[in-house]
Structure 1
Amino acid sequence: MTHNPSFRPPLLIISHFPPPVHGFAVISEAMSREIKTWRPVEEFNMARPARVSLLKHMRQATAVLGICAALVSRRRRRCDEISMGVNGGVGQLYNLMIAAVARLLGFRIVLHHHSYGYITRHSRLMAVLCALGGAKLEHVFLAHSMARQFQARYGNTQVAHVLENALFVPPTPALDRPPGPLRIGLLSNLSREKGLYDFLATATLLREAGLDAEMYLAGPAGTEDLGAINAAVADGLVHWSGPLYGAEKDAFFAKIDLFLFPTRYVFEAQPTVIYEAMAAGAPVVAFDRGAIKEQVQDCLAVVDQADDFARRALDIIAPLSRDGAPALPEKARALHAETSQKAALSLRRIYGGPPSL
């Protein structure tokens, strides 16, 4: 067989891909799409959705066994790199199985971390995965702070890269926001842990202070939270759009002046929705969870988890409501663009892409 020096074997990306549509899967799909612009890629989907948990794990285990078998055949075709998204909880057993086979076959192994679940709390499975990977194991984190916290918990023995999710959120056109009151929004899966009640409390304080602001909610809500939302809508406290996708979601971000994200989710990492707000020119006020402080920087503010979010937000919003902040939309877009460019260069360094954009 004649050797072709220009041949480059595909990168094997093992992760969750849509459907179902969730942050982990969407980011994996976007990363794969970006890498395909300069090198071949082959995708392997670990996700096997099912209504029953036991059935889901049976399907997932079967899929992982198939992936392990595929690694053997791909190694014979000179493939030598895998990129793998890390599961949370028990799902790390599947990462362990794949990493064990990949190491035996001599693959370069790159793990992508999207969760703080095993950083906030020690995971024996993650500790075993780190030990099993050996010198061939590399890690990709969402932020430098995430890398430091991971290494403090599991030891600084492997290569660490940083790749921000900003790369996978495209910029949106700058639109002139119409004059009027300050427009403040929250888009999420509306629940207590995702900041719904802190947002409603902020709306109440703004009204009591007599500030000129309109509050916009978007996203699905569970039955237990619909009462609070409907009551706030009936009282004229907020506007609620329900779930938004595609152009409707873009229109939501285009109309708001400020994005609040008072997440209390203990495993929050680097929310894509914050980059979506910034890409549209909306600065952010959020709770300090996961890598959010490094993500938001000074555009606009991060609130300590021990603080009363609504009262801190009132202090931040009051001068904006009175005086405005015309430089903030451009500042938000610039921060998103700068972070996205850094991430693009980082991704190319990790997987051997062209050195310039």
Structure 2
Amino acid sequence: MKPKILFIMHIPPPVNGAALVGQYIKNSKIINKDIDSDYINLTASFSLEKIGKGGYNKIKIILSILKKVFTSLKANDYDLCYMTLTAKGAGFYKDFLIVLLLKLFRVKAIYHFHNKGVSKSSQKWFNNFLYKITFKNTKCILLAPSLYKDIQRYVPEENVFFCPNGIPKLQTKDEITKIENSVITPCKFLFLSNMMEEKGVLELLKACSILKKEGYPFNCDFIGAWSDITEDVFMHTIHSLSLENNVTFHGKKYNQDKVEFFETSDVFVFPTYYHNECFPLVLLEAMQFGLPIISTPEGAIEEIVLNNATGLIIEQQNVDALAKAMKFMLKNPSIRKQYGLAGKKRFQENFTLDIFEKKISFILKNTLK
């Protein structure tokens, strides 16, 4: 008889890292092969603009989720519950209600974190009390060892699994364009993420302005969904910095629609300082296409991008450091190619969807034992 597992996790929309991973798990033949799976969508905000905000409709959605969880637990004898637990804030309080149901029905739980903030949030006595209840007799999946410090107060290391995210391979030409080392042609930079201020959008525009003033030939493409950076703010900034001929916004692009941009770009730039950033899937996509990366030491990024090996890690919110890194990449096409090849090899060895699915399958089987 197959073990029965209840998956409570985020599924798109909106499109973000946790939701995409949830979709991969739900569709995985490897993970679902030897288990009897039930799935409940944990998402209460179906657009980027509504994440973190309340309202009557969200309360109705949360009550509906709680009802589905209660009904499933009452009707089935689950061997395990896999849950993508939110680390802090209103999302954690919502998830804690589900945790109480799991405790009530005495279902073994394993939490998969795609964000962070437990350590800081636990400084408040009430949150500390809730975390003690939440983590008692449970196991956790973290995206990288560097993130363990966030929950070490509550979970011994022997109850923690480390599993980096993986992504499906997009169709590529499977070759890196030959670069003439002797000629500096306009370097093409690419930013692809939700258009949030904390993703470093404005810092990147300011760095582009520095490159333009110093006369460097370059283009920078922006791809993503509008968020707290609106179209008006973005276009106004471009005009104020006189970047109309260097910067282009292309809107949202998903799946194969992104391929053209990855294949025709030279460097991927992701200067994030987003407080919830843990393991950005977009960096894996850039590595898959052999792009060198400029990013920051947020979350587990330094365990994805190896500084001076597959890209450059710079200080957050430091426009001068960002511009300096961009100029280095622009002036050294041979090093760009070297970093890109090393990154592509690192992706193939560590971050494919097949590797991720096998690790999650192993973790679930191990936890069931």
Please tell me the TM-score bracket, short chain as reference.
Answer: 0.7 to 0.9
Paired position in structure 2 for 1:53? 55
SS of residue matched to 2:151: helix
Cα distance change of structure 1 residues 194 and 112 upon mapping to structure 2, 3 Å threshold: same
Instruction: Choose which of 21, 38, 44 in structure 2 pairs with 1:42.
Output: 38
User: Are 1:236 and 2:248 counterparts?
Assistant: no
Q: CA deviation at 1:109?
A: 0.4
Structure 1 residues 104-123: aligned runs within 5 Å? 104-122=104-122
Cα distance change of structure 1 residues 127 and 283 upon mapping to structure 2, 3 Å threshold: farther
Paired position in structure 2 for 1:219? 224
Instruction: Choose which of 286, 290, 294 in structure 1 pairs with 2:299.
Output: 290
Paired position in structure 1 for 2:328? 316
Alpha-carbon distance in structure 2 between the residues aligned to 1:301 and 1:109: 38
Alpha-carbon distance in structure 1 between the residues aligned to 2:190 and 2:109: 40
Cα distance change of structure 1 residues 150 and 297 upon mapping to structure 2, 3 Å threshold: farther
Q: CA deviation at 1:175?
A: 3.7
The runs of 5 or more residues in structure 2 that have no matched partner are 180-184
SS of residue matched to 1:329: helix
Q: CA deviation at 1:148?
A: 2.6
SS of residue matched to 1:211: coil
Paired position in structure 1 for 2:312? 301
Paired position in structure 2 for 1:150? 151
Alpha-carbon distance in structure 1 between the residues aligned to 2:122 and 2:270: 26
Alpha-carbon distance in structure 1 between the residues aligned to 2:81 and 2:296: 35
Alpha-carbon distance in structure 2 between the residues aligned to 1:67 and 1:94: 13
Q: CA deviation at 1:116?
A: 2.1
Please say if residues 205 and 314 of structure 1, whose CA atoms lie closer than 8 Å, have aligned partners that are also in contact.
Answer: no
Which aligned runs of 4 or more in structure 1 are off by greater than 6 angstroms?
none
Q: CA deviation at 1:135?
A: 5.3
Cα distance change of structure 1 residues 117 and 54 upon mapping to structure 2, 3 Å threshold: farther
Q: CA deviation at 1:160?
A: 0.8
Instruction: Choose which of 268, 279, 297 in structure 1 pairs with 2:277.
Output: 268
Paired position in structure 1 for 2:72? 70
Percent identical residues: 21
Instruction: Choose which of 14, 33, 48 in structure 1 pairs with 2:27.
Output: 33
Q: In the alignment, residue 139 of structure 1 is paired with which amino acid?
A: C
SS of residue matched to 1:296: coil
Relative to the length of structure 2, the TM-score reads 0.82
Alpha-carbon distance in structure 1 between the residues aligned to 2:109 and 2:158: 11
Q: CA deviation at 1:43?
A: 0.5
Structure 1 vs Structure 2 CA RMSD: 2.8
Paired position in structure 2 for 1:137? 138
Moved more, 105-114 or 219-228: 219-228
Relative to the length of structure 1, the TM-score reads 0.84
Paired position in structure 2 for 1:182? 187
Cα distance change of structure 1 residues 129 and 336 upon mapping to structure 2, 3 Å threshold: farther
Q: CA deviation at 1:176?
A: 4.0
Cα distance change of structure 1 residues 288 and 241 upon mapping to structure 2, 3 Å threshold: same
User: Are 1:330 and 2:341 counterparts?
Assistant: yes
Q: CA deviation at 1:300?
A: 0.8
Structure 1 residues 87-126: aligned runs within 5 Å? 87=86, 88-122=88-122
SS of residue matched to 1:325: helix
Paired position in structure 2 for 1:197? 202
Q: In the alignment, residue 24 of structure 2 is paired with which amino acid?
A: A
Q: In the alignment, residue 185 of structure 1 is paired with which amino acid?
A: L
Cα distance change of structure 1 residues 316 and 10 upon mapping to structure 2, 3 Å threshold: farther
SS of residue matched to 2:221: strand
Aligned length: 341
Instruction: Choose which of 347, 350, 354 in structure 1 pairs with 2:360.
Output: 347
Alpha-carbon distance in structure 2 between the residues aligned to 1:31 and 1:233: 45
Q: CA deviation at 1:9?
A: 3.0
Alpha-carbon distance in structure 1 between the residues aligned to 2:32 and 2:340: 32
Cα distance change of structure 1 residues 55 and 64 upon mapping to structure 2, 3 Å threshold: same
Paired position in structure 1 for 2:182? none
Cα distance change of structure 1 residues 230 and 38 upon mapping to structure 2, 3 Å threshold: farther
Please say if residues 80 and 109 of structure 2, whose CA atoms lie closer than 8 Å, have aligned partners that are also in contact.
Answer: yes
SS of residue matched to 1:247: helix
Q: CA deviation at 1:252?
A: 1.2
Alpha-carbon distance in structure 2 between the residues aligned to 1:285 and 1:138: 34
Q: CA deviation at 1:232?
A: 5.8
Please say if residues 204 and 237 of structure 1, whose CA atoms lie closer than 8 Å, have aligned partners that are also in contact.
Answer: no
Please say if residues 189 and 219 of structure 2, whose CA atoms lie closer than 8 Å, have aligned partners that are also in contact.
Answer: yes
Q: In the alignment, residue 47 of structure 1 is paired with which amino acid?
A: T
Alpha-carbon distance in structure 1 between the residues aligned to 2:93 and 2:317: 35
Q: In the alignment, residue 93 of structure 1 is paired with which amino acid?
A: Y
Per-residue CA distance 1:42-100 (angstroms, 9 max, x = gap): 1011224477623202321232133023112111xxx2101001124122223222223
Paired position in structure 2 for 1:159? 159
Alpha-carbon distance in structure 1 between the residues aligned to 2:327 and 2:260: 27
